[in-house]
Copies of this chain bind each other. A is one copy, B any other.
Amino acid sequence: MELSFKNILVVGLGLIGGSILKTIKELNIPLEVYGLDLDEEVTKKANNIGLINNIDNQLKKIEEDSLIVFSVPSLSIERAFKLIEDSFNDEKVIFTDTFSSKSKLLEFLESNTKVGEKFVMSHPIAGSEKSGLANYNSLLFKDKLVVLSAVNGDKDNKKLDRVKNFWELLGSKVTFLDPEEHDKVFSRTSHLPHIIAFALMHYLEKELGDDVFKYSGGSLESYTRIASSDPLMWKDVAVSNKEAVLEAIKGFKSSLNQMSKLVESEEEESILEYLRFVKEVRDKRLKKDS
């Protein structure tokens, strides 16, 4: 695979942004590396540990082919863009992101069409509840899926291919989804489980306090793992994908209420039927994927 960029600029040096730069370094991918963070101290730290060439948020204009990756919390896209709007050559830039939800990003791109024309949306399905630059990891993207979405049905295959190529060089597998479909699917398979974990931990703390993990033997610890995810990132995900997230919570609650009513009425045969259905479909869907 040939690399079509000479430079990469990562805006937002948290777990994802830091891991992108670390992977480039470890794999000796021939890119000039630049980075900015909304918190300039983080930018300086990234320079100190050798992740980026620039020493602070004062970036010289980059003239050659560049990929600019936004890996900030999704509601910070406008602020993040302001940081870099004079730092690239309009003709030689492609933008991408790493956001878990695309709705608010799309609004921004639709009202900034000159940016939108240069944008391919990315969502690497990789992460950790251990957030921040300190937790970067050069294996974060290896064999992971990255979902690309075109802005408003943009069929510029060359642009898509260049971004696809970039993620593949980091070790990822790339697939495509419309942004609307993306936000619907991930509200169900990712945002909802996170919100459930937040609410479960919230409830358990109120009920058991100190004793939450006293009798659990590890399984509750792992079941609530994602409740330790970055609050700022997840606040933004919930708000920026609000409609789909609320729909998902509502649908989940309907399944939960159904179960709850069966337990209340002790309808043993119906409970058994519900649980057998759930086990059967999960085991079947897993097998299909393996």
Residues of A within 8 A of B (CB): 75, 125-126, 144-145, 147, 175, 177, 185-186, 188-190, 192-193, 195-196, 198-208, 210-217, 219-224, 226-229, 231-232, 234-235, 238-239, 242, 245-246, 248-249, 251-256, 258-260, 263-264, 266, 268, 271-272, 274-279, 281-283, 285-286, 288-289
Contacts and interface: CB of A to CB of B under 8 A. Distances in A.
Given A203-B254, A228-B278, 16 more contacts: A125-B215, A147-B215, A185-B215, A189-B216, A189-B220, A195-B256, A195-B259, A198-B259, A202-B274, A210-B288, A221-B289, A227-B278, A231-B272, A231-B275, A239-B263, A242-B266
Nearest to A214: B289
A208 to B, nearest CB: 6
A144 B217 contact: yes
A-side binding surface: helix, strand, loop or mixed?
A: helix
A272 to B, nearest CB: 5
Contacts of A234: 275
26 contacts: A125-B216, A126-B217, A145-B217, A147-B215, A185-B208, A185-B211, A185-B215, A189-B212, A189-B216, A196-B200, A198-B259, A198-B278, A199-B258, A199-B259, A201-B282, A202-B255, A203-B254, A207-B248, A213-B289, A221-B289, A223-B223, A224-B282, A228-B279, A231-B275, A242-B263, A246-B260
Contacts of A264: 242, 246
A54 to B, nearest CB: 30
B207 A251 contact: yes
A-B residue pairs, 4 tightest by C-beta: A231-B275, A199-B256, A125-B217, A203-B255
A222 B195 CA distance: 16
Copies in the complex: 2
A285 B227 contact: no
Nearest to A273: B231
Contact of A256 (B196, B235, B260): B196
